[in-house]
Amino acid sequence: MSVEPLLTVENVNLAIRGAPILQEVNLRVSSGEIVALIGPNGAGKSTLVRIVLSLIRADSGRIWLKPGIRVGYMPQRLTVSDTLPLSVQRFITLGAPATRARVQAALEEVGAPHVLDSPVQAISGGEMQRVLLARALLREPDLLVLDEPIQGVDLNGQYELYDLISGLRQRRGCGILMVSHELHLVMATTDQVLCLNRHVCCSGHPDHVARDPAYLELFGLDGAQRLAIYHHHHNHRHNLHGAVVEPAERGAHG
């Protein structure tokens, strides 16, 4: 896997009406790499994403995108006015022209094959997330920027979509910058985690970040424990099925 940087963010600062929103943020996404942005509501995650995409300008700092790369973007929210008659197929092809067959194939890939001809206002929230992902994928992006891609997706779907997203970097070699609140999934599948709360609290490999005091402070014992419960539960199931039990963390029984 080549590690060619696609995006670098250096010392970005932004204040809105005097209130600091982002302070001295650094970030790098390379091809074939998944970087997750986590942090509480109002931490500035979506704002950072907008700066990366040049939708808003930072007060200071440097944004560098590898010249000529294609970017696929999935915004945090998207609702289409009821006054506009628009099918899912038309909605998706607004991003990049594609044949009906290709749109259908993309929808199958994201697990929403049945919505092709539905009015875009009539599909469910989780289906909309999948449709947005399909639209981003059809652009064949070098860099995918996803703002909470699996919000509102059912539990099984979350795993499926995460597998799909992490499979993309292998199959297409694209870099992925993703905002997410699903700590257990983030910790399990990403290469790098950036913990944001108006500034970068901690960053690095998920295992490293999970032990960082700043992380524990940000997500509280509660968040950390939930993660532990998840691991614990996982170990236990393996145990019942008679599979090899990994050395348990936090002194859990084996």
Partner 1 sequence: MDEFLQRALLGGFGVALATGPLGAFIVWRRMAYFGDTLAHSGLLGVVLGAVLHINPQLGVVATCLLVALALVLLQRQRRLATDTLLGILAHATLSLGLVALAFMETVRVDLVSYLFGDILAINAADLYWIWGGGGLALAALAWLWRPLLAITVHEELAQVEGVAVFPVRLAFMLLIAMVIAVAMKVVGILLITSLLIIPAAAARRFAHSPEGMAALAGLLGCAAVGLGLWASLRWDTPAGPSVVVAATALFALGSVVPGRARRY
- Under the rule (CB under 6 A), what is the footprint of ligand ATP? 16, 21, 39, 41-47, 76
Q: Which does 175 bind (CB under 5 to 8 A by kind): Mg ion, partner 1, ligand ATP, none?
A: none
Q: Smallest distance from the beta carbon of 24 to partner 1, in angstroms?
A: 25
Is 87 one of the binding residues for partner 1 (CB under 8 A)?
Answer: yes
CB of 75 to partner 1, least distance (A): 6
Least CB distance from residue 45 to ligand ATP, whole Å? Answer: 3
By CB under 8 A, residue 119 contacts partner 1: yes
Minimal distance in Å, beta carbon 72 to Mg ion?
A: 18
Map the chain to HEC letters. CCCCEEEEEEEEEEEECCEEEEEEEEEEEECCCEEEEECCCCCCHHHHHHHHCCCCCCCEEEEEECCCCCEEEECCCCCCCCCCCCEHHHHHHCCCCCCHHHHHHHHHHCCCHHHCCCECCCCCHHHHHHHHHHHHHHCCCCEEEEECCCCCCCHHHHHHHHHHHHHHHHHHCCEEEEECCCHHHHHHHCCEEEEECCEEEEEECHHHHHCCHHHHHHHHHHHHHHHHHHHHHHHHHHHHCCCCCCCCHHHCCC
Residues in binding contact with partner 1, number by CB under 8 A = 25
Q: Which residues bind partner 1 (CB under 8 A)?
A: 50, 53, 55, 71, 73, 75, 78, 80-81, 83-87, 90-91, 94-96, 117-119, 122, 139, 145
Note the residues at the interface with Mg ion (CB under 5 A). 45-46, 76
